[in-house]
Structure 1
Amino acid sequence: MDVTEGGVTMTVPETRHGASEGAGDGVFFNPAQELNRDLTVAVLDAWAEAGYGDSGGDGPGTYLDAMCASGVRGVRAANAGWDATCTDIDSDAVDLAAENLDRNGLAGECVRANANAHLHTNYYDVVDLDPFGTAVPFLDAAFNGARELVCVTATDTAPLCGAHFESGVRKYGAVPRNTEFHAEMGVRVLLSACLRTAARYDVAATPVFTHATSHYVRTYLALDSGATRANERIDELGHVDWCRDCYWRDHARGLIADPTDECPNCGTDTVTAGPLYLGATHDRDFVAAVAERVTDAMGEAKKARRLCERLGEERHDPTHYDQHELYGNWGEPAVGMDEFLAALRDAGHPASRSHYGGTTFKTPASVAEIRDAVL
């Protein structure tokens, strides 16, 4: 079937009736990822035009859609002016990507290749990983083959968030915990794995735009070379202690955990997650640049702008709280979010909404301080 997205028309597999993932019997295509792709184009435009890359704002460079499937990402990148290459191990996917470039009158290269092998012999300004499930098997090659920016989608949120604990430990080399801030747990586990992988090659990977949306995590990592800078990113790794009873938590940087065994708020045994990335998951100035490049032609423009707005105001504290979870734990009726945040601020605690949910917020205040401020 044909779909039109972001100004390009694509041939994609027919969607099975009721298939939420958009998978046909052949090459994979997921219509639910349009927001992800809209934001990718906005990020690429901001990167090329605002001087964030080595080109200094001189325009688009080279872009690799490493597991292209229908080629929708590569085609949209080419339509945005990038010198796009699409690779896939499936020859049908490569043929379909080439067909989709051609029908839109766009130049681009389509190559049947294993992404890992390809990225050890070819180099691009931007490498985009959007595999089915975890991106971990492709991270080493991506940080070897990318010069400026690595884009990563991870759809295996259960291992990332600690719901599938053993799988999360195996894949990400970290201890994830299934907490009430599970979406942010997934973000910080993924970023930890990315930063540690990049550092092995003396590359500093800095997240400039990251979001957890629906069933996936998406991050964009700016690259800088040098052991000193890579060490600085590793210094942003650490651990989070969390109480499953009262939702108290604390964090500390360092690769060696020094857990708090007993919750200082309620006395319950705590659990520890890590190593997690504890630094800022986005750059506010870059988020603003991305927001400016979301266009009305994008099918998910409204959601993209709302996400950018929320990220722009989100504090960088690890980790967020859920207001409804807290009030439920306290056995009290929740108040409106504006009233709730105003009470926190009036008590002297900085606070902001977060993009993880409509009732999520960030503050450096402890659980006890939050309760005292709002009850």
Structure 2
Amino acid sequence: MRVSEGDVTVEAPDPRDGSSEGAGEAVFFNPEMELNRDLTVAVLRAFEDRTDAGAANVSRDEPDSEERTLSYLDAMTATGVRAARAAEVGYDVTAADVDPDAVELARENLALNDLPGTAVQSDANVLMHQERFDVVDLDPFGTPMPFADAAVAGTRKLLCVTATDTAPLCGAHFDSGVRKYDTVPRNTDFHREMGLRVLIGAMSRIAARRDVAVEPICSHATRHYARTYLELTHKATAADKALQWLGFVYHCEDCLYREHEFGRIAHPPENCPNCGSSRCSAAGPIWLGQVSDSEFVGDVAAEVTPNMGEWQRVSRLLDTLGEELDTPTHYDQHRLCKQWGAPANKLETFLEDLRDAGYEASPAHYGGTCFKTDASVDEIRAAAEPAAASDRE
């Protein structure tokens, strides 16, 4: 079938029959990832401007200050739709896949749109160890961890990573999460954020082995996947500083109290400091720092255009990300109210009550009833209960 996304049109297998004529059954097109691809295009546009601004501050006598087209690797290209969209916004694209049918389809789709680019048959790990690209996009089926080291080795500036194995990431499949991400994940009330921070933490540790620092400049957990855009700095001292953002989260399964601790050694409480429960879990090491740069997120939002199929959802997501507090966990308002046996009012009103009580509070993108605050569980309840009592009256 022929599919249009943004400013490109591509031939793709029909996902309803699981096959495509001339492309082979192994080539897969997922229409559910259009939001991911729309957001990627906006990030690429904003990052190009960010890179140009950085180059302007470099002396003209240095080679790095010369303007050039940024190179982009779609490491597992399948139909090549992501590569075609990157080429359309001006990147020097390489579309790679181990499947020769996918490579041929990606090549045909670049030609269909009169776009420059190269399609190559290669194992992603081999290619990323052989060559370096300004931007590498790693979007495998399942976990990205088998490709993570090679991706760091093959990336100069920006590493884009998707993980679709959300159950291991958030601790629902505990042993798999420990094995793949070299951490202790926990299936908590903030499980989607847990998964995102597990992913970034794992990537930061792998990058540090190569004296590379990661800085998440835009990240989100949406639908069935986690996605992060990591700006890389190739410097050992920067890698040391980045590792300081790793640490542990302690979470009470009874009263929902949580706290976090920076460092590589955990000191979990024996019992919950809030309610005394012995059901207090520890997760980590995970990334405790910010998962997005609010200024860059604003730049990305400015690059979203109405010709994108998911532009409205992308815009709403970016608006939330831009305002989201960088606390390492979030709360679910309905879960808290159920815990307290209290009715839940509008989230906007709920957050305004927290702000009136002197705390910071913002919606969180992980769900429609999710929010972030610097208040503790008891402080949240104290701020919310007067309003709940007023509603009952």
* TM-score, with structure 1 as normaliser: 0.96
**What are the Cα deviations for residues 162-221 of structure 1, in whole angstroms up to 9, with x where unaligned?**
100000000000000000100000010000000001000000110000000000001000
2:271 to 262, 274, 278: 262
* 2:24–2:101 Cα contact (<8 Å) kept: no
1:353 to 355, 360, 363: 363
185 and 26 in structure 1: CA distance in 2 versus 1, 3 angstrom threshold = same
Could you tell me which amino acid in structure 2 is paired with residue 311 of structure 1? L
* 1:47–1:53 Cα contact (<8 Å) kept: no
Could you tell me which amino acid in structure 1 is paired with residue 363 of structure 2? R
Could you tell me which amino acid in structure 1 is paired with residue 76 of structure 2? M
- Aligned-residue offset at 1:54: 5.7
Could you tell me which amino acid in structure 2 is paired with residue 201 of structure 1? R
53 and 232 in structure 1: CA distance in 2 versus 1, 3 angstrom threshold = farther
Q: Distance in 2 between matches of 1:55 and 1:68?
A: 29
* 1:261–1:271 Cα contact (<8 Å) kept: no
Alignment correspondent of 1:338: 348
- Aligned-residue offset at 1:53: 7.6
Identity %: 56
Q: Distance in 1 between matches of 2:352 and 2:288?
A: 26
Could you tell me which amino acid in structure 2 is paired with residue 315 of structure 1? L
Q: Distance in 1 between matches of 2:24 and 2:110?
A: 20
Q: Distance in 1 between matches of 2:293 and 2:371?
A: 18
Alignment correspondent of 2:283: 273
1:164 to 159, 173, 179: 173
Alignment correspondent of 1:7: 7
Matched, 1:45 2:54: no
* 1:49–1:59 Cα contact (<8 Å) kept: no
2:188 to 179, 187, 212: 179
Matched, 1:283 2:302: no
Structure with bigger gyration radius = 2
- Give 3-state SS (helix, strand or coil) of 1:68's partner: coil
Alignment correspondent of 2:312: 302
24 and 368 in structure 1: CA distance in 2 versus 1, 3 angstrom threshold = farther
Q: Distance in 2 between matches of 1:69 and 1:25?
A: 11
- Aligned-residue offset at 1:59: 6.5
* 1:176–1:189 Cα contact (<8 Å) kept: yes
* 2:14–2:29 Cα contact (<8 Å) kept: no
* 1:133–1:156 Cα contact (<8 Å) kept: yes
1:329 to 339, 342, 350: 339
Could you tell me which amino acid in structure 2 is paired with residue 325 of structure 1? R
Q: Distance in 2 between matches of 1:117 and 1:230?
A: 24
Q: Distance in 1 between matches of 2:129 and 2:51?
A: 27
- Give 3-state SS (helix, strand or coil) of 1:188's partner: helix
2:98 to 86, 89, 92: 89
Matched, 1:215 2:213: no
Could you tell me which amino acid in structure 2 is paired with residue 6 of structure 1? G
Alignment correspondent of 2:326: 316
50 and 227 in structure 1: CA distance in 2 versus 1, 3 angstrom threshold = closer
Alignment correspondent of 1:227: 236
The gaps in structure 1 that reach 5 residues or longer are: none
232 and 142 in structure 1: CA distance in 2 versus 1, 3 angstrom threshold = same
**What are the Cα deviations for residues 124-179 of structure 1, in whole angstroms up to 9, with x where unaligned?**
00000000000001110011010000000000000001100000000000000000
Q: Distance in 1 between matches of 2:16 and 2:24?
A: 6
- Aligned-residue offset at 1:60: 4.2
Q: Distance in 2 between matches of 1:278 and 1:229?
A: 17
Q: Distance in 2 between matches of 1:367 and 1:149?
A: 37
* TM-score, with structure 2 as normaliser: 0.92
- Give 3-state SS (helix, strand or coil) of 1:352's partner: strand
93 and 18 in structure 1: CA distance in 2 versus 1, 3 angstrom threshold = closer
Q: Distance in 1 between matches of 2:68 and 2:215?
A: 21
Moved more, 56-65 or 42-51: 56-65
* 1:126–1:146 Cα contact (<8 Å) kept: yes
* Mapping of residues 94-173 of structure 1, within 5 Å: 94-173=103-182
Moved more, 25-34 or 196-205: 25-34
**What are the Cα deviations for residues 313-344 of structure 1, in whole angstroms up to 9, with x where unaligned?**
10001110000000011111111112111111
Q: CA RMSD in A?
A: 1.6
- Give 3-state SS (helix, strand or coil) of 1:51's partner: helix
Could you tell me which amino acid in structure 2 is paired with residue 206 of structure 1? E
The gaps in structure 2 that reach 5 residues or longer are: 57-64, 386-393
- Aligned-residue offset at 1:259: 0.5
- Aligned-residue offset at 1:76: 0.5
* 2:74–2:93 Cα contact (<8 Å) kept: yes
Moved more, 125-134 or 357-366: 357-366
Could you tell me which amino acid in structure 2 is paired with residue 276 of structure 1? I
